Amino acid sequence: MSSTESIIARCQALFDDLDFTSAREWKAAEAGRRVVGYMPIYVPREIIHAGGMLPLGIVGGGEQLEVIHGDAYYQSYICRIPRSTIELGVSGRLDFVDGMLFPSICDVIRNLSGMWKLMFPEIYVRYFDVPQNYTDSIGGNYYRNELQELREGLEEMAGIKITDEALRRSIAIYNENRRLVRQVYEYRAKQPWKAPAAEVYLLMRAGLVLPVEEHSQMLQDWLAAVEAEDRPMRDNCRVVLTGLFCEQPPLNLIKSIELSGCYVVDDDLQLVTRWLTADVPQDGDPLENLALAFLHHSESTSAKYEPDEKEKGQYLVRTVQRTGAEGVIFASPSFCDPALLDRPMLQHVLKAANIPYIAFKYAENSGQMQPIREQAGTFADSIKLWSEA
Amino acid sequence: MKCFIGIDLGSTTTKAVLMDGNQHILGRGITNSRSNYDTASRVAKQEAVVDTRMTLCRRGLAGAAGLEDGLDDFLGELERSFRLEQFLDQLGDLEATCKTQITGDRFAGVEKEVDAALVAIFDELRDTAPALFAPGAKRKSDFFRDIAGAHYLQVAEKVAKEAGLPYELLLNVYDKSIIDVENRPPSEDLTGKFVDALVRVLAATSGDGRDAGDIEQRVKDALAIELEETFVVGTGYGRVTLPFSKEHIRSEILCHGLGAHMMYPKTRTVLDIGGQDTKGIQVDASGIVENFQMNDRCAAGCGRYLGYIADEMNMGLHELGPMAMKSTRSVRINSTCTVFAGAELRDRLALGENREDILAGLHRAIILRAMSIISRSGGITDQFTFTGGVAKNEAAVRELKKLVQENYGDVTINIDPDSIYTGALGAATFAHRAVEDGAAREGVQA
Amino acid sequence: MSTKPQAAQTEVAKDDSMLKQKTMMAGHYERLTSAKETGAKTCSTFVPGNLNELIMCFDLLNNLPEVNAIQAGLRKKSGLYVMESEKLGHSEDVCTYVKSDIGMMAKGNLAPNGKALPDPDVLMLSYTGCFTFMKWFELLREQYKCPTIMLHTPYEGDGKITANMRDYMVKQLKEEVIPTLEEVSGVKFDIDRLREYLKKSALAEDDLVHVLQSAKNKPSPIDAYFGGIYYIGPIFGAFRGTDDAIDYYRTLREEVDARVAAGAGPVTPDGDMGPEKYRLIVEGPPNYTSFRDFWKMFYDEGAVVVASSYTKVGGVYDLGFRHDPDNPLESLADYCLGVYTNRNLPQRVEMLADYVEEYEADGLLINSIKSCNSFSAGQLLIMREVERRTGKPAAFIETDLVDPRYFSPANVKNRLESYFQMVDQKRASATASGVAA
């Protein structure tokens, strides 16, 4: 049986590898294989998978990538993820990627889809729109047709057919992967000292670049390994991290939060791995099933419209209650419109529910952790004092 | 003779270039920028004229008896002697100005003592002045405010102690005066100073086989050549405040492009990193700007950033490069934000990183920003010319060469030691063109 | 620099169209601010995807927070409002239209006439071309607790409107938007009334296009950016589909035709512009806090904007779209789908490059707005592409909509000057080589 250490070491290697060697090797292993990249927040990976292709999550360049040409495309008041993504593109690091999907998350990523069309005309590029209307016959119908268009686009790109049968199989495989991801999250919420936030993060990051079957195996192995190991419990408070659904924080930032006395018991990092919150039915029309799952059983986040004013932000309160968290940390990338515009509303909801919170901003290449350590440490101390009072 | 002058009014220094009708550079001048832009440009222009006179003296003395081998030495002596004259002249102005400051409550009851102290200070400054301009003497700066300031403060401390006066009093007098002195137009009598300087040099070197009479005549002839200000063009950050009409103003972008072209006719891409801004410029075969980009509102990654770092580390700006060169492994610095520079630096030092490596990382960060701006303006095409204050920094140049190689392959990189004059050279060339083109047009019409 | 004495400035003759617009706007604000007394109900919505004809079908008054923010910017009040909302916890990083609006509410929500604007009875969230709209109205909904209608406009990711997009929008209109508007207003929907309004819209749209395209003349009789902002006011705001708009655009068209006949250039705040020296295409919204100073930097140099993308943000009429009374709901859908910021980057590049050619411009100028990622994210590539396709130089300046902290006159002026001089130089060298050839 592998230890958590060896599993995480592999994840770390995947995380550090900006050339995506593992995905390149997967592609090279068989003639005709295709890789489809996607950005946050969510794409229906089942459709890509059902076409025998590898969905590859691309979430910027992290803190190690030197961005030169990417900066030439963006003003200083725009977040960093599109710059580093362009840098990955123009530096040839994505030259094995056959298609790119740009989800509907904000205007920056939306516009990047058109930039990609102009800059890389030889590959399949799609802006993947999702409904902001949650009525089955309206938003559901629209979305089912969008999924069908995506399916046809991928078929044409790869010169294959994506059958309903293959889609159902892929749905089953991803259902299992999501179940395992949820298990990891539940495990951590119960025993956060045994599942450090940075390790869970790396586990999920691996899911962006590995074939899903391999990732599911990895999650199973980790769950078994972590159960068998013992780690000391510290007197930390328990927090939920929110606002990190797109541009990723440096790994050091996640570590710093935990080192400063806050166990992370939930977060909105790598939402794509658990976007759908319930199993997607495996019989019937697979696209319809995916569409309805999106409408009625998907995560809430700042990039989605909340039609019911009374429901605004309640998902955060429920997460806090479900995980036994004692506070919320709002961490968002600088210049992130969805997160920063939403933040005051979410904070009002938390205030009404008596849940303490702090807030700060980061960039994927933030170099200074000291202010964050101080803030998180103070937050942990105040929560402890507050709960003892 | 006809002279065409370009003045580049930068945020830290003001430069001037003087060229003749054949576009030959006769002289260059530089001074520190100051609140009175008009004075700054006059001083720079005068410095270019001084340099021009030296050039004319060199031409005039070619073949003078007894100077066959010693021309360079002689001209060196002449220039040092002239500089001494100039310095003493400004010192006199500073002393007179200082004395007018002794008024008000602060000086009540000690007027006489302060006056006496000033006399003592300036006597000593005058006594030590020749040593400053002796052969081989090292000066940290050639600007009057820097030389006089450093020495005044040293001497004043001693004098204050001896006289039992508060040092702040003498400091206050100086601070108030230097600004006035700096912002006054320079004294115009160059010929007089040159003649005095010449007399001193000839007296000191009499009897070494030179024909003093011949030399004196030749120098006087060179000084007598009339330098007619045919056309002046101003450029740079402070150009809008120059008392020039529109046709005498050009944007610094155009001047930099043309200046680089004049120095290196094959230049296609120019990078200029100045104190406040970084410019990426593309020029065509005749030096015409095709495209340009500047850093956006913030001064991230400009020369000013290095200034902050130097302050933060208690080092001189010129010491940063050499220290960074000692680095064995560069530390990655992600923020080129001047506001965060200090914090990031302290963070790194606290983590136990060593100063050389941090500095190497900082230099790389600056050049990375510049590379982005070049990329924005259209990349690098052979040949590439690097200008501005940061081009003098060897660590920055090292990173630039690496990054250019990585991103654009083998490209000829030009760095002129006089690159600080690029903008002024472009402006002078525009001045020349304004007249020549006008003449050409008139010729066509006639 | 020619600065006119104050007296001369006030003597600048106001055209009939300008006076008419002033009266229209004043009347509109009067109707809004007296809604409480008159019992009128108001609907807040956005300029892009503004469904004025539909809103009028329910006797609702159209209130546009964006226009209020612009008004606050022009009257130099927005800086205070923005700071106010930052005090309330809004990030310095986000859209200043939103912050100006939120700050204005906190400060009593006063209209330009000094009276308080009414609380909206309904928020018509037509989510078109800009993600921030969604958050903006979630924020207002939190404040006002009033019914909010989401009309989701899909983005033209592939540069075309598909049947699926149109059906989706028509369904939303039929099944959600219209029933809610009926409920809020108590007025039954009458599709013939909508047709009537759409017919009027199309008439005004014809004249607007004529006015904007008059800039193809040399000299251009209008400035299609700084002046254009006034010209689009009524049709992008609360007047599309009204007789007032028809009259206004007819008057404006006649004035512009008269200027063309006289060979006259645009009217500026300092009177008639001097000789036309540069013709520009401008991409991006303007700066409103220093609007006049900004414009002056152009007309002092003899630069006229002959076409701009900002004047297409509330509808792209010059490429052929007209509201169509025969297909009312489809036509509303197509209108929303087609606004400038709902077009993908390749479409935007194409449009701007075409403008450079069609309007015989010297090049493209981008005013990059800090607040507006919808416009700004990607503009540096747009610039590159338009330069590549047209061979004409482009320039890039950075300001903000209504946050005075982001307008640096020296910086903007420096870049503009450099740009104009660059154009001069290129022209001179072109003529020289032309002579040589």
Look at residue B71 and tell me whether its pLDDT is greater than 90.
no
| pLDDT computed for residue C10 by the predictor | 41
| Pick from A377, A333, A322: nearest CA to A355 | A322
Residues written for chain B: 446
| pLDDT computed for residue B299 by the predictor | 63
- Total CB pairs under 8 A between chain A and C: 164
Report the C-alpha gap between B67 and B36 in whole angstroms. 42
* Least confident segment among B89-98, B332-341, C123-132, C238-247: B332-341
The β-bridge relationship of strands B25-32 and B13-19 is antiparallel
Per-residue DSSP letters for C306-321?
EEESGGGTT--TTTT-
Look at residue C8 and tell me whether its pLDDT is greater than 90.
no
Contact B288 C413 (CB under 8 A): no
* Percentages of chain A per state (helix, strand, coil), in multiples of 5: 55, 10, 35
Look at residue B224 and tell me whether its pLDDT is greater than 80.
yes
Report the C-alpha gap between A68 and B369 in whole angstroms. 7
Is A64 near chain B, with CB under 8 Å? yes
| pLDDT computed for residue B308 by the predictor | 82
* Amino acid identity for residue B396 in this structure: A
| pLDDT computed for residue B207 by the predictor | 63
Low-confidence ranges of chain A (pLDDT < 50): none
Note if the bond before A344 is cis, omega within 30 degrees: no
| A294 contacts in chain C (CB < 8 Å) | none
Confidence of residue B316 (pLDDT cuts 50, 70, 90): confident
The C363-369 sheet, strands edge to edge = C303-308, C278-283, C363-369, C394-399
The C148-152 sheet, strands edge to edge = C60-63, C41-44, C122-127, C148-152
Q: What is the mean pLDDT of chain B?
A: 88
| pLDDT computed for residue A31 by the predictor | 95
For chain A, where are the alpha helices, taking DSSP H only? Answer: 4-16, 21-29, 45-50, 81-90, 107-119, 141-158, 164-190, 197-209, 212-228, 251-259, 286-296, 314-323, 337-352, 370-388
Residue with tokens 């009499």: B206
Give the gap in angstroms from C-alpha B389 to the nearest C-alpha of chain C: 21
Report the C-alpha gap between C124 and C137 in whole angstroms. 8
Token digits for C226?
């700084």
pLDDT digits (tens, 9 = 90+) for B353-373: 888 998 998 899 889 889 989
Helix axes B167-183, B111-132, angle to 10 degrees: 60
Pick the residue of C101, C125, C150 with the most A CBs within 10 A to test the interface with A by mutation: C150
Token digits for C354?
């075409």
**A210 vs C410, higher pLDDT:** A210
Report the C-alpha gap between A270 and C111 in whole angstroms. 45
Contact indicator for A218, A7 with CB cutoff of 8 Å: yes
Of all residues in chain B, the percent with pLDDT exceeding 70 is 95
Look at residue B374 and tell me whether its pLDDT is greater than 60.
yes
Contact indicator for B80, B138 with CB cutoff of 8 Å: no
**C10 vs C66, higher pLDDT:** C66
Q: Which of A367-371, C54-58, C272-276 reaches the highest mean pLDDT?
A: C54-58
Name the residue in chain C with its Cα closest to that of B292.
C395
| B369 contacts in chain A (CB < 8 Å) | 71
| A61 contacts in chain B (CB < 8 Å) | none
Contact B254 C426 (CB under 8 A): no
Q: What is the mean pLDDT of chain C?
A: 93
| B287 contacts in chain C (CB < 8 Å) | none
As a whole number of Å, the end-to-end CA separation of chain A is: 46
pLDDT digits (tens, 9 = 90+) for C303-330: 999 999 999 999 999 999 999 999 999 9
Q: Taking residues B179-187, report their average pLDDT.
A: 85
Give the gap in angstroms from C-alpha A160 to the nearest C-alpha of chain C: 22
What does each C-alpha distance from C204 to A147, B35, C242 come to in angstroms?
39, 56, 9
| pLDDT computed for residue B300 by the predictor | 67
Report the C-alpha gap between A384 and C46 in whole angstroms. 46
DSSP conformational letter for A305:
-
Name the residue in chain C with its Cα closest to that of A113.
C157
Per-residue DSSP letters for B41-95?
HHHHHHHHHHHHHHHHHHHHHTT-TT-TTTHHHHHHHHHHHHHHHHHHHHHHHHH
Look at residue C58 and tell me whether its pLDDT is greater than 80.
yes
Confidence of residue B276 (pLDDT cuts 50, 70, 90): confident
| pLDDT computed for residue B297 by the predictor | 59
Confidence of residue C3 (pLDDT cuts 50, 70, 90): very low
* Amino acid identity for residue C263 in this structure: G
| pLDDT computed for residue C253 by the predictor | 97
Contact indicator for C415, C397 with CB cutoff of 8 Å: yes
Token digits for A44?
């229906």
pLDDT digits (tens, 9 = 90+) for B79-133: 999 999 999 999 999 999 999 988 888 888 888 889 999 999 999 999 999 988 8
**Helix or strand or coil: residue A32?**
coil
pLDDT digits (tens, 9 = 90+) for B145-154: 888 888 898 8
| B253 contacts in chain C (CB < 8 Å) | 418, 421-422
**DSSP bridge partners of B421:** none
Look at residue C13 and tell me whether its pLDDT is greater than 70.
no
**DSSP bridge partners of C433:** none
pLDDT digits (tens, 9 = 90+) for C336-380: 999 999 999 999 999 999 999 999 999 999 999 999 999 999 999
Give the gap in angstroms from C-alpha B305 to the nearest C-alpha of chain A: 16
Look at residue B42 and tell me whether its pLDDT is greater than 50.
yes
| pLDDT computed for residue B442 by the predictor | 58
pLDDT digits (tens, 9 = 90+) for C257-268: 999 999 999 999
| pLDDT computed for residue B233 by the predictor | 95
Contact A118 C175 (CB under 8 A): no
Report the C-alpha gap between A385 and B5 in whole angstroms. 72
Name the residue in chain B with its Cα closest to that of C422.
B289
Report the C-alpha gap between A150 and C78 in whole angstroms. 44
Confidence of residue C11 (pLDDT cuts 50, 70, 90): very low
Look at residue B337 and tell me whether its pLDDT is greater than 80.
no
Note if the bond before B101 is cis, omega within 30 degrees: no
What per-residue string of b and e applies to B24-61 under the rule 16 or more CB within 10 Å gives b? ebbbbbbbbbbebbebbbbbbbbbbbbbbbbbbbeebb
Contact C398 B297 (CB under 8 A): yes
Is B247 near chain C, with CB under 8 Å? no
Those residues whose C-beta lies under 8 Å from the C-beta of residue A154, and which sit 6 or more positions away, are A36, A47, A48, A51, A53, A99, A124, A162
Confidence of residue B138 (pLDDT cuts 50, 70, 90): confident
Q: Residue C101: how many CB atoms within 10 A of its CB?
A: 26
Note if the bond before A41 is cis, omega within 30 degrees: yes
Look at residue B51 and tell me whether its pLDDT is greater than 70.
yes
| pLDDT computed for residue B440 by the predictor | 63
Contact A335 C398 (CB under 8 A): no
Give the gap in angstroms from C-alpha A26 to the nearest C-alpha of chain B: 29
